[in-house]
Amino acid sequence: GGIITQTPKFLIGQEGQKLTLKCQQNFNHDTMYWYRQDSGKGLRLIYYSITENDLQKGDLSEGYDASREKKSSFSLTVTSAQKNEMAVFLCASSIQGGERLFFGHGTKLSVL
């Protein structure tokens, strides 16, 4: 089996700050995803990547950048944190074309 590691587990930022979340997987999966989970809302896709150096926008990409420099890692940057923003960011991976996603435990973001 494999594992997806997200760092940090908790992230506290200031309004307007640029914040970076990291994700590592050892499944050797081709495709990686970033989802945002808000209380009372479904998971929403921010970015995904089908291979190293590939980036595809999801439904919620505005306000975010992503980077996939290695097959095993996928990072997400909040370009300007919004005051009182609070959400959990989930990283996931799958085989190429696969429908079964394997998730990390998430990074919980709070913006003061």
Contacts with other proteins by CB under 8 A lie at: 4, 31, 35, 40-45, 48, 50, 56, 58-59, 90, 92, 94, 96-106
Comparing CB distances to other proteins, the nearer of 32 and 111 is 32
Measured from the CB atom, the residue of 18 and 57 that comes closer to other proteins is 57
Half-sphere exposure of 63 (CA within 13 A, CB side): 11
SS3 105: coil
To other proteins, the closest distance from the beta carbon of 42 in angstroms equals: 4
Residue with tokens 């959400």: 87
Cβ distance to other proteins smaller for residue 48 or 64: 48
6 vs 75, beta carbon nearer other proteins: 6
For the residues of 1-70, what is the DSSP string, one character each? ---EEEE-SEEEE-TT--EEEEEEE-S--SEEEEEEE-TTS--EEEEEESSTT--EE-TT-TTEEEEEEE
One-letter amino acid for residue 107 of the chain: T
Q: In angstroms, what is the minimal distance from the CB of 29 to other proteins?
A: 11
Find the shortest distance in angstroms from Cβ 43 to other proteins: 4
